[in-house]
Structure 1
Amino acid sequence: MSEGQQGSRWGRWLVVGVLVAAGWGIVHGGDHPTTASSGASPSATPSPDGAAPSASASSPSESASTAPSKPSKPSGRYDPADYAAPVRRYAAEAGVNPQLLMAILYNESYKPHDPELERAWQRGKPEASFGIANMHRAAFDDTKPGRPFADRKWEELPDDRDLAVQAAAWHLHDLAGQLPARPSAPLNHDELLALGYNAGAGNMLAFARGVKVGSQAQSYLDRLHDNWAKSGTAVQ
């Protein structure tokens, strides 16, 4: 979920990135290993590949020889379109529009989605969101009961992009369940859900009643429109 003015955030992310890179060089002298979890491959995308295979105890050389590289591994360049398969799977599982889910991943791709950078940022800002779908702890914990990922933790989101996509899909499902059958706003179903994802259920319901969309929410909606066509192409 978007967390405010992106320009200033990028500056802060760059500072965090420099600090984390320095820390890696001093402490690790190499790449930081990712956390093995039951849904760590492939990855999102996320989107939200999709069936959460169990982690293997094999050595790095064995893993490289027996399993192909999968896009859910949280390292390197991030492109939401790489997670089209889990987006389709989890959107179908949760009964939401895969194009909407993919568009939200694009909306939320404004910051670096590296596990170490996310955790460094979160240490200084405990209310920050996690994962490629930028989900806050409260939203994740409210969404997971009774779901296939009920035993998973919010702290796993940076390392498991499939989990991030699955949680986002079910969160959209829950938001949809709160919408009135006939909203009075000049916004369609997917637009309202996107605003709910970004601004919370209370604001979504206010918008559904016809309350004017504010500048920050409108900016999120504008980006959704900009990302809509390529999101549809990605999930075809």
Structure 2
Amino acid sequence: MAGERGRRPWLWAALLLVVLVAWACGRSGDGGKGAGTGAGGKPDATPHSTPTSRPSSSPSPNSPGSTGSPTVSAPGASHTYDPAAYDPANYAPQVRARAAEAGVSPRLLMAILYNESYKPHDPALERAWQRYKPGAAFGIANMHRAAFDETKRGRPFADRRWEELPDDRDLAVRAAAWYLHDLARQLPAHPSGPYDKDELLALGYNTGAGNMLAFARGATPGSQAADYLARLRSNWDKAGRAVARGGGN
């Protein structure tokens, strides 16, 4: 028994090495980390942190959620994971439906999925990494527990759990759409900074509502937040094409 206990650290080290190698491979495509630093070199808010104020839990007037949520089948997750096979465009039906439900731009939502595709989105791998790093995000939209729990309040998915995000990609898209909805409720009508509404919402998704409002007042994003914005712009045309086409799972 003593010998068996002595070998366990090597098993954990091997598991961690596999996770880190797979993660690094998933990030090599765009080099982004999805975490921002604030203006003047100060740290931005935690990525995908909960908005600073809670908007109404009722769906917006333009949201189909006010008359019932759409029925969208989420792609299954019981398969052998192939990082090259994951393409946010395959979830265009979910993006269109959930963006309409939350009253947000489907193109923006799709672009964020592309931005957040820098790491492997395999359920088993996400859970293995979360056991090593409890503060890690879950799902194809990379949402943290606190943000999910705040966003779901009063929403049609209020009974769902954050732990379901790795397996239910439709739920991940839905939560991201409503998080963007909550951020949009906090934006000033006429931002004084150089960024348009979609860019500010993407920055808010990445760095939190407080930083988003600072950028709306003209603050300059730090290097990592600026990288997130650059990747959003790079993915913008691709996101538009993905949303426009009728395919998907």
TM-score, normalised relative to structure 2: 0.68
Question: Residues 75 and 168 of structure 2 are in contact (CA less than 8 Å); yes or no, is this contact kept in structure 1?
Answer: no
Offset, 1:141: 0.6
**1:104 pairs with 2:107:** no
Distance 1:94 1:13 in 2: 38
Distance 1:101 1:191 in 2: 11
Structure 1, residues 110-139: CA drift from partner, whole Å, max 9, x if none?
111000000000011111000000001111
**1:176 pairs with 2:179:** no
Question: Residues 74 and 158 of structure 1 are in contact (CA less than 8 Å); yes or no, is this contact kept in structure 2?
Answer: no
Indicate the percent of aligned positions where both proteins have the same amino acid: 72
Partner AA of 1:118 in structure 2 = E
**1:213 pairs with 2:221:** yes
Structure 1, residues 37-56: CA drift from partner, whole Å, max 9, x if none?
xxxxxxxxxxxxx6256xxx
Partner AA of 1:92 in structure 2 = A
Distance 2:16 2:224 in 1: 20
Question: Residues 81 and 231 of structure 1 are in contact (CA less than 8 Å); yes or no, is this contact kept in structure 2?
Answer: yes
Partner AA of 2:71 in structure 1 = A
User: Over the residues paired in the alignment, what is the CA RMSD in angstroms?
Assistant: 2.0
Offset, 1:78: 1.2
Query: Counterpart of 1:93?
Result: 101
Distance 1:74 1:209 in 2: 45
Partner AA of 1:220 in structure 2 = Y
Partner AA of 2:237 in structure 1 = A
Counterpart pick for 1:15 among 1, 14, 18: 18
Offset, 1:74: 5.8
Matched ranges for 1:63-142 at <5 A:
71-73=75-77, 75=79, 76=81, 77-142=85-150
Offset, 1:15: 2.5
Residue 118 of structure 2 aligns to a residue in which SS? coil
Q: What is the number of residues matched between the two proteins?
A: 179
Query: Counterpart of 2:243?
Result: 235
Question: Residues 144 and 167 of structure 1 are in contact (CA less than 8 Å); yes or no, is this contact kept in structure 2?
Answer: yes
Question: Residues 139 and 169 of structure 2 are in contact (CA less than 8 Å); yes or no, is this contact kept in structure 1?
Answer: yes
- Shift in CA distance, 187/178, structure 1 to aligned 2, threshold 3 Å: same
Return the structure number with greater relative CO, CA threshold 8 A, min gap 6.
2
Counterpart pick for 2:71 among 38, 42, 51: 51
Offset, 1:71: 3.7
Determine which structure has more spread, i.e. the larger CA radius of gyration. Answer: 2
Distance 1:100 1:72 in 2: 24
Distance 2:89 2:75 in 1: 10
Distance 1:91 1:13 in 2: 36
Distance 2:178 2:239 in 1: 19
Structure 1, residues 21-48: CA drift from partner, whole Å, max 9, x if none?
xxxxxxxxxxxxxxxxxxxxxxxxxxxx
Offset, 1:172: 0.2
- Shift in CA distance, 130/108, structure 1 to aligned 2, threshold 3 Å: same
Distance 2:154 2:75 in 1: 27
TM-score, normalised relative to structure 1: 0.72
Q: Which runs of 5+ in 2 are unaligned?
A: 1-14, 23-69, 245-249
Residue 225 of structure 2 aligns to a residue in which SS? helix
Question: Residues 115 and 231 of structure 2 are in contact (CA less than 8 Å); yes or no, is this contact kept in structure 1?
Answer: yes
Offset, 1:90: 0.3
Distance 1:118 1:125 in 2: 10
